[in-house]
Structure formats: structure tokens, C-alpha cells
Amino acid sequence: MDRPNEGERAAAYARLFCPRLIRVVLGWLERLGVPRCHRGDVAGQVWLNACESWPRFDPKLGRPERWLNTNTVHVASHYHERARHRREELVDVIEVLDPAPDAAAAMELDNVRVCTIGAVNGLDPELRFVLVAHDLNGASMTQITQDAGLPLSTIYKRRTRAIGELRSIIVLREAGEIFTRRMGLR
């Protein structure tokens, strides 16, 4: 048997390994009954087999698409054969821990909430208005601009300042709590 010339193999390679055929292989796998959740993996196996067996491909024996279709059918049949032998092992019911926070976590959340509200209330009223309206109530910045009668850039600057000052207040309060605990004043 004579070897195909390299020009024929190069042309077949160009026709075969192109993005359009990736979609075609996925369509073939769909028609062959491969579930969508496994189709990408099976298609990967098709292309892996195509790359591994490419040196044995002879363009004189048929079109490259036909050869790829044969590979696809072969890989899909192996997939279905392995699927028949797959077994799922059922396990006893697993006891799920109560997702509700325990008393200590609930108290900590309440403490964080109270401290955050106190920090927000410690802000300058102009800054607090923008922060509460946008970040807590979900108002758009353009709506806040209309409500306050101020330019949009001013509203953005106030929100940035409010967040910065809020961080500073929280850091100072945490530092004060750490100092109080270390000194045993609590």
C-alpha cells in the first residue's frame, strides 16, 4: 500500500481540525445519546483518539469527516458500554447539622450589628445619608442625586468619604475593645 502524499494529509488535517467540526462532534454525540453533562468529556476523548490515530489516517480511503465520525461512534459506544457497568452505591441518610447559628454566634452577630449601627450613626449626617440610601436601602446614585439636589460627583465623593470614615470608626472601636480586654477593665 503506498503512503499518501503529505499534501493530501495536510489538506485532510486542515479540514478535520477546525472549530466547526468541534460543534459537529458534539452534535453527533447528542444524536448518539450521550447525556449533555458528559458530552464535553466524551468529545475530548474523541479528539484525543483522533490525534493519537492521525498517523494511521489515509486520505485515499475516505473523507476525514467520515473517519472522525467513525471515531466518534466508537468512543460513544464505549461510553455507553461503560455506563451499563456503572453502579451507584447508595448510603444511609447523613445527619445534617442544624444550620442555625448557636447562641454564641447569634450573640456575636447581634454585637456586630449593634456596633455597625453605632458606627454608621457616628458619621456626619451628610455622609450617613448617602451611605444609608445607597448601601442599605439600595437607592441608585442618580436617585440620591435627585433627592439631595447635588451633583453626582459630590454624591460619589461623599459615599467614598463615608466608607473611609466608617472604617476608621470601626478600627478605633476594635482597638479600644482590645485595649480594654488587655487591661482587664471589662
Q: Report the CATH number at residue 162.
A: 1.10.10.10
Place of cell 468512543: 75
pLDDT at 158: 93
Mean of the per-residue pLDDT values for the chain? Answer: 83
Could you tell me if 75 and 49 are in contact, meaning their C-beta atoms sit under 8 angstroms apart?
A: yes
Domain count for the chain: 2
Mean pLDDT for the stretch of residues 58-87: 85
User: Residue 166: which domain range?
Assistant: 115-183
User: What is the three-class DSSP state of 136?
Assistant: helix
Q: What is the CATH number of the domain that holds 36?
A: 1.10.1740
Predicted TM-score (pTM) of the model is 0.43
pLDDT at 4: 56
* 132 within domain boundaries: yes
Distance separating alpha carbons of residues 97 and 34, to the nearest angstrom = 37
Q: Which amino acid is at 165?
A: E
- Please give the share of the chain, as a percent, with pLDDT higher than 70: 85
Q: Does residue 79 surpass a pLDDT of 60?
A: yes
Q: pLDDT tier at 157 (50, 70, 90 boundaries)?
A: very high
Which runs of consecutive H residues, i.e. helices, occur in the chain? 6-16, 19-31, 36-53, 64-85, 103-121, 125-131, 141-148, 152-183
* 98 within domain boundaries: no
Q: Which amino acid is at 104?
A: A
49: CB partners within 8 A, 6+ apart? 71, 74, 75
pLDDT at 1: 45
* 104 within domain boundaries: no
Biggest CA–CA distance in the chain, Å, is: 96
- Please give the share of the chain, as a percent, with pLDDT higher than 90: 26
